[in-house]
């Protein structure tokens, strides 16, 4: 059961940003289960909390702008592809990091809204090509600066050097965790 608006009920610890210090979480586990490895708590817990804060803030901003995160992702991938702002569904799936089914749903929703058009490739391959419409182009142009400006403003406590160092460390951690989880046996 999710927490009640008044703060009661059973809440998952990461449902809100919370101020529960990670040191207290680690100490409690060591007290209750001596020998339990708790070194990850000081890294993973803040990452989960940051991810939730960033995602919630982006969702609120996008709601104000009248676009959902999945549509923004689809339009962004097409816009970043450069003129003529079109990609086949296989490439859209690869660049969006979602399943083919999810891309299909996103395309259908965006097409109904007049943001993209799809057509079958003319080379006889039957590949489906998705193109950004003028309305889709206008929407992404209106939203991308607002989203990225907002997210940049959330990082103002870090100077340029700190941002670059953190970005490198996070990319290295991401690559290592991905390799560990996907490993040669998977």
Tokens 């927490």 appear where? 3
CB atoms within 10 A of CB 69: 13
Return the H-helix or E-strand segment holding 118. Answer: strand 116-120
Give 129-169 pLDDT, tens digit per residue.
Answer: 999 999 999 999 999 999 999 999 999 999 999 999 999 99
- Compute the average pLDDT of residues 33-51: 94
Instruction: Name the helix (H) or strand (E) containing 13.
Output: none
Residue 63 has pLDDT above 60, yes or no: yes
Number of Cβ within 10 Å of residue 49's Cβ equals 17
pTM: 0.76
d(CA 79, CA 25): 43
Q: Give the residue-averaged pLDDT of 92-96.
A: 94
What is the sign of the dihedral through the CA atoms of 36, 42, 48 and 49? positive
């Amino acid at each position: 059961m999710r927490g009640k608006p008044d703060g009661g009920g059973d809440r998952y610890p990461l449902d809100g940003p919370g101020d529960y210090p990670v040191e207290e979480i680690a100490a409690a586990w060591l007290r209750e289960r001596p020998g339990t490895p708790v070194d990850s708590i000081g890294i993973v817990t803040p990452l989960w909390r940051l991810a939730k804060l960033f995602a919630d803030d982006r969702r609120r901003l996008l709601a104000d702008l009248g676009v959902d995160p999945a549509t923004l992702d689809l339009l962004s991938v097409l816009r970043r592809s450069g003129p003529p702002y079109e990609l086949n569904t296989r490439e859209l799936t690869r660049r969006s990091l979602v399943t083919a089914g999810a891309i299909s749903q996103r395309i259908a929703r965006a097409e109904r809204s007049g943001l993209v058009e799809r057509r079958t490739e003319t080379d006889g391959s039957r590949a489906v090509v998705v193109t950004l419409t003028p309305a889709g182009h206008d929407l992404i142009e209106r939203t991308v600066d607002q989203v990225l400006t907002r997210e940049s403003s959330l990082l103002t406590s870090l100077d340029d050097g700190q941002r670059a160092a953190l970005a490198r460390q996070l990319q290295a951690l991401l690559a290592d965790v991905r390799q560990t989880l996907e490993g040669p046996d998977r």
